[in-house]
Amino acid sequence: DAGITQSPRHKVTETGTPVTLRCHQTENHRYMYWYRQDPGHGLRLIHYSYGVKDTDKGEVSDGYSVSRSKTEDFLLTLESATSSQTSVYFCAISDSDRANTEAFFGQGTRLTVV
């Protein structure tokens, strides 16, 4: 299994509070992604990173920010949590320097905003 750890695995937070989710990898892969998964929508890309301090927006980036200060860590921050951000969040990694560039996923973080 690819070395990806997401923390926390579960979190309940109140509307309006900031929340940070962490993704840690031990594979030294260049690309890291944050997706959210909701019934009826599948996996939707929030933000991604293609290197240290290199990030870009995905299709559902409003209300989220990210940071990558080290190759192994990719943080997702909900600046002011809303109920619409209740979801399961997945981190994924992939390596552009290999012939195969499939993404490997973490176990997910279930976030509930009340």
Judged by beta carbon, residue 28 or residue 80, the one nearer other proteins is 28
Judged by beta carbon, residue 15 or residue 101, the one nearer other proteins is 101
The distance of closest approach from Cβ of residue 15 to other proteins in the complex, given in angstroms and rounded to an integer, is: 25
Burial of residue 23, with CB atoms counted within 10 A of its CB: 0-12 exposed, 13-18 middle, 19 or more buried: buried
Q: Find out whether 30 and 48 touch, Cβ atoms under 8 Å.
A: no
The distance of closest approach from Cβ of residue 29 to other proteins in the complex, given in angstroms and rounded to an integer, is: 10
Q: Residue 22, Cβ neighbours under 10 Å: how many?
A: 14
Supply 109's token pair.
């973080």
Residue numbers of the site for other proteins (CB under 8 A)?
31, 33, 35, 40-43, 45, 48, 50, 58, 90, 92, 94, 96, 100-108
